[in-house]
Amino acid sequence: MTISHVQLGKNKITERFLETLKGHFKNHENVKISVLKSCCRDKTELKEMAEKLLESLGKNYTSKTVGYAIAIKKWRRIMR
């Protein structure tokens, strides 16, 4: 199981960040996104960002927030 690490900075979630994230999922099953201080320091905003990422990635992804990091896992089968 391979894990890729990505940082989310002051530009927050952009189209370019989403393209980069999708590129990481071509080679890895799990991606850990470290949210920098310049992005946000509010837990509710962090959870909203995680939900937005899941919406843009699709149905076969799940996320978990731990501290100021978002862990996203890609499932092999499509979840219903």
Q: Which pLDDT score, from 0 to 100, does residue 76 have?
A: 76
Low-confidence ranges of the chain (pLDDT < 70): 1, 77-80
Instruction: Locate the domains of the chain by residue range.
Output: 3-74
Q: Which pLDDT score, from 0 to 100, does residue 2 have?
A: 82
CATH architecture, domain defined by 3-74: 2-Layer Sandwich (3.30)
Q: Which pLDDT score, from 0 to 100, does residue 63 have?
A: 95
- Tokens coding 16: 């370019």
pTM of the model: 0.88
Q: Which pLDDT score, from 0 to 100, does residue 41 have?
A: 86
Expressed in angstroms, the distance from the first to the final Cα of the chain is 24
Q: Which pLDDT score, from 0 to 100, does residue 73 have?
A: 95
Q: Which pLDDT score, from 0 to 100, does residue 78 have?
A: 57
